Amino acid sequence: MTLAANHDAATTAELDARAKAILRGNDRGGYTVPTEGLYPYQWNWDSAFAAWGFAAFDLDRAWVELETLFSGQWANGMVPHILFHREDAGYFPGPDVWGAGETIPSSGISQPPVAATMARAIFERDPQAGAPRMAPLYDKLLAWHRWFYQHRCESGACCITHPWESGRDNAPDWDGALKGIDTSNVGPYTRRDTSHVNPDMRPTKRDYDCYITLVQFGRACDWDEAEILANSPFRVADPTMTFILLRAHRDLKWLGTTLGHDTTEIDGWIAELEAGVESLWNDDVGVYDARDLRSGELAGSPSNASFLCWYAGVSSPKTEARLARILSKVTYGVPSYDPEGPLFDHMRYWRGPVWGMMNTMIGMGLADAGLTDLATQVRDDTAALIADHGFAEYFSPLDGTPAGGGTFTWTAAVWLGWASPSAQKGA
């Protein structure tokens, strides 16, 4: 399916305008919320994609987005997955539950570090104007990447300490690791997501009880990384984090070299992660897979994160064949879980739906690897999905039914930065 087959230049211009309006509408003055109502704060990787989207029409606003994100960086280098810039009493779990943050109240965990990759893309649009903005940001990015190396890469691959840290909240990858978690002390709470969105499209009550249990554990140990490493019941080496961090290391090295820095430290991180990623290979399913670091077991979950390998610069002929087969079973890009798998649910968050920003990273990686036909298919499918079904948070990969938030920041950013024919002409 291609956008050109069904939509003319006027439609493209209209969609470009709608995407810009969504970014402006979700702008809260220095930072962007993912969508009105459902997510009222600044989310880490959402914000990095927002900056990339703004760069298509407002470079200054793009830099401000990243600068605001890093204004909440902890002294140890960690950049939290949520920054609570303003009070919103209806959101759970809010800052009172997390009990975290230094300069700004925040969550106690991080998220996939796409920021270096997006910072490079923004910088390359106008290096001369970007150099004064990039120079201080580089040091902050370096500190964050060092934090990942020191606190999340003990197995060689990059791990997560909470499903939210991966960005793929309820993916089947975490089922085994979450199975034994005791949730009996969670207590009552009210979720915002299921009041805004059909509960059948969201994580289950059991999932959420596990999430809150892990937040309570982190707070009880004052978010001390050594204690979390030693005693947390959940620690999973994650292909999302591993591949995105590896790509981000490469882009951070490029930025450092361009700015005249010694990047020997980053070279070491890249080498260790390139070796460590092989610990995630699951020959039984022919993809890179999540590994529970407590049990040592692989999840057996062929997910869209498996197909980020090319984005990280890791070739995989077996994975290429698996991706081609999956794409033949769906209409719109890469589902979050194999549609032939026993746990596939085409509308439940990360257990089947397709996500524009994951399609984007997968498509970019395929193009970088010279897998042109697959790259073009993923990009054209994503363009058609947005053109036909709007700027939702996620969609059914089977028929494009939109789900989650309806005017979503990163979907608009994906359109402006990559999927739109306007973006493709400038590529």
Q: Which residues are the active-site residues?
A: 169, 393
**Residue showing tokens 């498509």:** 363
Phi, psi of 399 (to 5 degrees): -130, 0
Q: How many angstroms separate the CA atoms of 185 and 7, rounded? A: 53
**In this structure, which amino acid lies at residue 315?**
S
- SS (HEC) of the chain: CCCCCCCCHHHHHHHHHHHHHHHHHCECCCCECCECCCECCEEHHHHHHHHHHHCCCCHHHHHHHHHHHHCCCCCCCCCCCEECCCCCCCCCCCHHHHCEECCCEECCCCCCCCHHHHHHHHHHHCHHHHHHHHHHHHHHHHHHHHHHHHHCCCCCCCEECCHHHHCCCCCHHHHHHHCCCCCCCCCCCCCCHHHHCCHHHCCCHHHHHHHHHHHHHHHHCCCCHHHHHHHCCCCEECHHHHHHHHHHHHHHHHHHHHHCCCCHHHHHHHHHHHHHHHHHEECCCCEECCEECCCCCECCCCEHHHHHCHHHCCCCHHHHHHHHHHHCCCCCCCECECCCCCCCCCCCCCCCCECHHHHHHHHHHHHHCCCHHHHHHHHHHHHHHHHHHCCCCEECCCCCCEECCCCCHHHHHHHHHHHCHHHHHHC
Q: How many angstroms separate the CA atoms of 111 and 163, rounded? A: 10
Q: How many angstroms separate the CA atoms of 335 and 171, rounded? A: 11
∠405-406-411 over CA atoms, to 5°? 85
CB–CB of 112/305 below 8 Å?
no
Phi, psi of 236 (to 5 degrees): -130, 125
**In this structure, which amino acid lies at residue 255?**
L
